[in-house]
């Protein structure tokens, strides 16, 4: 068994092709890492696509979230980085494997926290995103990965069916014996909505769908200040810009307050007319 490697699960040609874009980013940053693909496309076993080192055939496909859960237990690596097909590596991530010397499993929170209430699990233990999971072949991690599909099936059988697999992963983690580490956003930077990157930290894994991941990565990592990311329109605001903008707002407010009351009323009414 190799010590470190990356695993993808992709069913159908569309998601295999999407995974190959992610694989190219992995091979660019960490060419020495082996990559394994679990897929229902049996023809890929004899002739793996470029960048894929081994292919495992999925014989029982449900076209649901279950398809990506069970293969993780069968990872051929001692330490595994699982990546969704819509991810992109911007830099090396050796530290994700290193941290498994102390922890069993690690994942990041999504921008939201709790979308599905689970009895007995406090809100301060929010949902992890399952698009980037790093784990080792330890009893604690295997406990989580085996509980996950069972918890998903239990939730799907209830009247209040969940929207995705994060709720069941949250429950599996909370009930397990695993030593769990929460990764910062920079290791699973969800780019489907507003997000934040911390000062001094490079965004290393982008998780979303973009025509040009290179463009998004370049904008996000053009400097390592505090960064606020917006998708519509596509913008990255730094702390310097936001501070400057706030300063202008303070100055303009001060000027406004110094005006005669009659003029302030007139400007207020005009502002309301144009902003309502």
Contact 187, 205 (CB under 8 A): yes
pLDDT greater at residue 118 or residue 33:
33
Q: How many residues does the chain have?
A: 276
pLDDT of residue 234: 66
Residues 89 and 135 in one domain: yes
178 versus 157: the higher-pLDDT residue is 178
pLDDT of residue 4: 98
Please state, rounded to an integer, the average pLDDT across all residues of the chain. 87
| Angle CA 106–111–117, to nearest 5 | 80
Residues 6 or more apart from 251 whose CB is under 8 A from it? none
Residues 114, 225, single domain; the answer is no
Share of the chain above pLDDT 90, in %: 63
For residue 254, name the pLDDT band (cuts at 50, 70, 90). Answer: low
* Overall number of domains in the chain: 2
Give tens-digit pLDDT for 26-51.
Answer: 999 999 999 999 999 999 999 999 99
What is the mean pLDDT of the segment spanning 62-68?
91
Instruction: Indicate if 202 and 136 belong to the same structural domain.
Output: no
Residue 140 and residue 172 in one domain? yes
Closest by Cα among 215, 198, 181, 174 to 90: 215
What is the percent of the chain where pLDDT is above 70?
86
In the numeric block, which tokens belong to residue 82? 């699982």
269 in the same domain as 173: no
Domain boundary among 174, 196, 218: 196
My answer on whether 192 and 202 are in the same domain is no
Separation of alpha carbons 237 and 220, rounded Å: 9
Q: Which residues contact 84 (CB under 8 A, 6 or more apart)?
A: 8, 22, 68, 130, 131, 132, 207
Question: Do residue 181 and residue 226 come from a single domain?
Answer: no
Q: Per residue, what are the HEC states of 212-249?
A: CHHHHHHHHCCCCCCEEEECCCCEEEEHHHHHHHHHHH
pLDDT digits (tens, 9 = 90+) for 66-115: 999 999 999 999 999 999 999 999 999 999 999 999 999 999 998 777 77
DSSP state of 201: -
The Cα–Cα gap between 72 and 133 comes to: 10
Q: Give the pLDDT band (50/70/90) at residue 148.
A: very high
> Does residue 253 have a pLDDT over 80?
no
Domain of residue 192 covers 2-196
Q: Show which of 143, 170, 196 is a domain's final residue.
A: 196
pLDDT at 106: 98
Q: Which of 196, 211, 229 is the last residue of a domain?
A: 196
CA distance 228 to 236: 6
DSSP string, 125-194: S-PPPSSEEEEESSHHHHHHHHHHHHHHHHHHTSSS--SSSHHHHHHHHHHS---EEEEPGGGSEE-SS-
Tokens at 268, concatenated? 């207020």
More confident residue, 102 or 123: 102
């Amino acid at each position: 068994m190799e010590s470190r490697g990356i695993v993808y699960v992709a069913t159908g040609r569309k998601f295999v092709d999407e995974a190959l874009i992610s694989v190219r980013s992995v091979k660019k940053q960490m060419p020495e890492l082996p990559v394994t693909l679990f897929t229902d496309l049996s023809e890929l076993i004899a002739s793996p696509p470029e960048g894929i080192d081994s292919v495992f055939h999925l014989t029982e496909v449900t076209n649901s979230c279950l398809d990506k859960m069970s293969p993780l237990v069968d990872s051929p690596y001692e330490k595994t980085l699982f990546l969704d097909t819509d991810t992109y590596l911007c830099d090396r991530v050796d530290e994700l494997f290193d941290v498994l010397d102390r922890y069993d499993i690690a994942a990041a929170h999504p921008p939201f926290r709790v979308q599905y209430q689970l009895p007995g699990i406090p809100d301060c233990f929010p949902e992890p995103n399952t698009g980037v999971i790093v784990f080792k072949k330890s009893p604690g991690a295997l406990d989580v990965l085996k509980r996950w599909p069972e918890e998903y099936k239990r939730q799907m059988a209830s009247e209040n069916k969940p929207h995705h697999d994060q709720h069941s992963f949250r429950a599996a983690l909370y009930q397990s014996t695993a030593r769990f580490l929460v990764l910062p956003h920079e290791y699973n930077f969800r780019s489907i909505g507003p997000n934040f990157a911390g000062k001094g930290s490079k965004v290393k894994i982008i998780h979303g769908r973009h025509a040009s991941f290179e463009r998004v990565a370049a904008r996000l990592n053009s400097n390592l200040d505090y960064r606020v990311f917006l998708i519509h329109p596509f913008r990255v605001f730094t702390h310097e810009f936001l501070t400057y903008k706030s300063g202008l707002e303070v100055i303009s407010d001060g000027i406004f307050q110094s005006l005669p009351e009659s003029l302030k009323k007139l400007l207020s009414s005009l502002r309301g007319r144009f902003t309502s």
